[in-house]
Amino acid sequence: MTMEKNAPNGLMDEAYRRVREVLVEARSRAWQAVNSAMVVAYWEIGRIIVEEEQKGVARAGYGERLLQCLAQRLGEEFGKGFDQYNLRK
C-alpha cells in the first residue's frame, strides 16, 4: 500500500510542505552561490581587461584588438554572452 492510502491527508500535507520547503531553500541557496560566483568572475574579467588596456598609452589600439580576440575566443567556448559589447561593459 502507498503512504497516501495509509496516512491521513493532514500528515501528507505536512510532509509535502516540509519537503517542499527544503527544496525551495536549497534552490535559493544554490542560485545565491551561483550569482555570487558569477559577480566575482565578471569583476575579475573586468580587472584583467583594464589592466591589459592600461599598460601604456601607446597600446590604446591594442585594447580594441584585445576585446575582439577575447570576444571571439570566449564566444566560441562560452557562448553569446561574451561579445565585445558585454566585455566592454
Domain ranges of the chain: 1-42, 55-89
Please report where in the chains the cell 581587461 appears, as a residue: 49
Residue 83 phi, psi (nearest 5): -75, 175
Q: What is the tens place of the pLDDT at every residue in 8-40? A: 788 889 999 999 999 999 999 999 999 999 999
Tell me the torsion sign for CA atoms 77, 82, 88, 89: negative
Q: What is the tens place of the pLDDT at every residue in 32-68? A: 999 999 999 999 999 998 888 877 555 555 567 888 9
Give the DSSP letter string of 23-85: HHHHHHHHHHHHHHHHHHHHHHHHHHHHHHHTT-GGGHHHHHHHHHHHHHHHHHHH-GGGSHH
